[in-house]
Amino acid sequence: MGLGPYPEVSLADARFRAAEKRLLIKRDKIDPLRLEGGRKASQRTFAEYAEEFIAHREPHWRNKKSPDQWRSTIDEYVNPHIGSKPVRDITSDDVYRLLTRNSLWENKNETASRVRGRIKRILDYAAAHGAQIAKNPADWEGNLRERLPDVKKVRERFDTRLRSLPYRLAKEFLAELAARKEMSAKAMTWALLTACRTGNIRTMTWDQLDFDQKLWICPAATMKTNVEHRVPLSDEQVNWIKEIPRLGDFVFTGGRRNKPISDNTLLALLRRMNYLDQTTTHGLRATFSTWANDRTNYQNDIIEAALAHKIGNKTAQAYNRSDLLAKRRNLMLDWQRYLGFSPSIEAVEDGKLESELKKSAA
């Protein structure tokens, strides 16, 4: 075992260090080489171990999006706070502070819980590779559980998906959006018209739009189900979206050029419009679903397909490859008609419209 180069380490120093190592072996039964390796391992930063862990696990993850999702989580929520810290210096207080920063644990509890779990996995990996971590600071039991509210209770209280706009207010909401000029209002309009997930809307690019076929094609890699989703568009939708200035790859750009609009920007819009206590962007999907089930005779499979949900069990999915596009196109046209989106269709009273929709579905 090297004790340091001469003359930086004198002969007397070398003899003293050698005696220390021999004492470790004889008295404490500790291998000094392994101990030194553990010290070096402990000096490596969290960010280094995080990247190594992801690279190590990547071949074993079934979902090809998992590595990117892990890196995104770590880069956004963890590395800015403890990424540069040696793993041996990370404390429970560090983890607690990053989980509660900007009310993350309360407002985005599912995300915060995932962050904690990923920190724990990475620190467990570091410990297994020699880092000196006596107790994992991201452990839940006997640690953070005593400082943070229970995940299930917080979710029941703060789950934003519980808030969805009643469909009888959807027409008025769309009219208010049409009167606004912000890019966020245009993104929210698209969310209401298509009933698609917020992430797909925020990151929608111009090359996903097929104006000739009147389709928005969401690639499988962007979908929760990992299956390509085709969204039928009306002539009015095509004409409307063509009016949006092209400022880069993304349709709905944020404050910086060629950057997508953020989820916080959409929430801020709802706050300005005094709708935040009634709905979220994701809640508009429930608005559409409730309307379709209450006010039309479309089959449940068609409604679920419009929401990009998987239909049936694995056997049914293996045999039925149809995405019910033609039927979904009729459903979405009726939804737009209900909202009064098309200027060419005269608005009718709810009762009369309900009857007409059920006839068209039949």
Any idea which architecture 167-361 has in CATH?
A: Orthogonal Bundle (1.10)
Percentage with pLDDT > 90 across the chain: 48
Query: 30: pLDDT confidence band, cut at 50, 70 and 90?
Result: low
d(CA 175, CA 183): 15
How high is the pLDDT of residue 34?
59
d(CA 135, CA 200): 40
Q: pLDDT tens for residues 156-182?
A: 554 444 688 999 999 999 999 999 989
Please determine, for residue 319, whether its predicted confidence score (pLDDT) is greater than 80.
no
> What is the residue extent of each domain of the chain?
31-158, 167-361
Mean pLDDT value across residues 87-114: 89
The pTM (predicted TM-score) of the whole model is 0.54
How high is the pLDDT of residue 54?
92
Residue 230 — left, alpha, or beta (φ > 0 → left; ψ -120 to 50 → alpha)? beta
Residue 257 — left, alpha, or beta (φ > 0 → left; ψ -120 to 50 → alpha)? beta
d(CA 323, CA 316): 13
Check if 31-158 and 167-361 are the same fold.
Answer: no
- Answer for the pair 99, 148: CB distance below 8 angstroms, yes or no: yes
**Most distant CA pair in the chain, distance:** 99
Please determine, for residue 148, whether its predicted confidence score (pLDDT) is greater than 60.
yes
How high is the pLDDT of residue 63?
79
CATH of span 31-158? 1.10.150.130
